[in-house]
Amino acid sequence: MTGGARGIGAATVMAFRARGARVAVGARSLASFDAFVARFEAADVLPAVGDLSNREAARGVVHAAIEGLGGLDVLVNSAGIFAEVAFADVTQAHWDEAIHINLGGTFFCAQAALPVLAASSGNIVNVASDAGVVGYPLGTAYSAAKGGVVNLTRAMAVELAGRVRVNCVCPGNVETDMMLEAAARSGDAERYLAKARARAPCKRMATPDEVAAAILYLASPEATFTTGAALVVDGGGTAGF
């Protein structure tokens, strides 16, 4: 589980644990892993610490999980970053970070896990975004990366059919620390959050647990004939006006 120390990733770790799974929690640092363990009283999870912005580090995270668990049945790629930047203001550094972590990390973690997942007839669930399905203003680099995750999922599903199932979820706005951080950076957090809640026809944001439930379904035996799917969890936000 990459990005497992907070937000959607943390909720998904707890959902898998509740069903008896052994879980390796991917985190950027040992400090963030330790904070997760303390917050959720989850002393039984294993650390898989590293930066996903380059191929070798991403492979190291996956190999740590495989070694700690003694194998792998499911890889959930949940690690991601988000920042609102106007198109004209996107720098090389912002572009590289958004693409390398959101898309590159997903690709290289999946690539590293493939031999073990193929041996276990396992599956991959990628966390994309509704921004990978529709355009997101002030989020061109993020939208490009998450759109890449959606089509990466489809391409992998076709190429790996019969060996490893590959699906993704596309959450809309979710009540996470990352959302709160974006709100704080806006200069008017309450207005930002109100706008985020109003964006979907349901007039609220998703909870991390609601997205985790979708991930759990795609990873489960109930979804054995589902591969290449992009399951949108957005309160109707991309359905239309």
Residue 45 CA from chain centroid, whole number: 18
Instruction: Strands of 83-194 (E only): list them.
Output: 123-127, 165-171
Q: What is residue 166's DSSP assignment?
A: E
Helix-then-strand count for the chain, H and E:
9, 6
- Point out the catalytic residue in the list 136, 142, 192, 217: 142
Structure tokens at 20: 């008896």
How far is 163 from 105, CA to CA, in rounded Å?
A: 21
Active site residue 142: yes
Q: Does residue 130 contact residue 174 with C-beta atoms inside 8 Å? A: no
Give how far Cα 238 sits from Cα of 7, 10, 149, 170, 199, Å: 22, 25, 17, 10, 10
Catalytic residues: 142
